[in-house]
Structure 1
Amino acid sequence: MRHIISVLVNDQPRVLARVANLLGRRNFNIESISVGESEEPGLSRMVIVTSGDERTMEQVQKQLHKLIDVIKVQDLNEHAAVERELLLVTVGASSGTRMEINGIIEPFRASVVDVGPNSLMVQATGERSKLDALLDLLRPYGIKEVARTGVTALPRGATKGVAVHVGN
């Protein structure tokens, strides 16, 4: 089963490597991982997408809590969550196909962010399945390059803040 795990960590060198190493040692495939600033100065949020049964995910969470720089671990599958991914795709586009491509990307709320002599770069955000569907529709035009951020997510609704104590 696919799981989205949110991990709040100290913003320190090598924390990402330690988290990825811990998952790798236990033979977990990381489908995606994204890391960025959080709402608390000095803390970063990692969003990790992986697969496993409930018992295995419980063990992963316990192991993550043992890492010194991990502040909070949350399995977003246990809560209603909003998840998004960013996609940049360069697609072949002649002057004759640009209007067709614009017609394809509009329902996806995607936008053209760069134009070349024989190509367009399209930006889209949304759930993975939406981005996969957009790529399928653009394939006949010739996909030249694709870059995806991986999933980022937060639980829906109000959540309790994280109390952070910085001591001597």
Structure 2
Amino acid sequence: MRSTKRLIDQRMKPSIVVLFQLLFFIGIMACKTDDPSVSNQTGTENGGNTDQDTTKNRLRIRIGSQIFTATLLDNATVTAFRARLPMTVVMGELNGNEKLYRFSSDLPTNPANPGTIQTGDLMLYGANTLVLFYQTFPTPYSYTKLGRIVNTAGLAAAVGSGSVTITFELE
């Protein structure tokens, strides 16, 4: 009986070591994320990389005689949006807080619910609706983020209460 118990103990020791190694590996992988919006770095929304040339991520938004500057994110939707620039469009009014324009063809999407829309957010609703928000409010809807206006002072007055012509171009 003792020799059987010793044999079982000898067989289990390597298994226990392998089990602990496996649990350690699973624990490390559980801390890893492929979500680009989650970063362990500090800095800008693009993962903290402040060394890159940010001028390619700057968008000039002309509304009448006023010019606003937005910072674009780095994602597939922005790449497709940038390929359409420069563009001048008539954006319609919706809900007293946003202007929208529908593209004739879809852009790639990665929608998420932001919880709260911020004044100056530039987003894509669905796959083809460009939305410029000029009021902050909570939302149950999901959007794909494109970027945000840096200084929103005067934005609501510039867009007014009806349709408005807006030019989007890279700086």
Q: Which bin holds the TM-score, normalised by the shorter protein? A: under 0.3
Q: TM-score, normalised by structure 1?
A: 0.21
Q: TM-score, normalised by structure 2?
A: 0.21
Structure showing the higher strand proportion among its residues:
1
Structure showing the higher helix proportion among its residues:
1
- Please say which structure displays the higher CA radius of gyration: 2
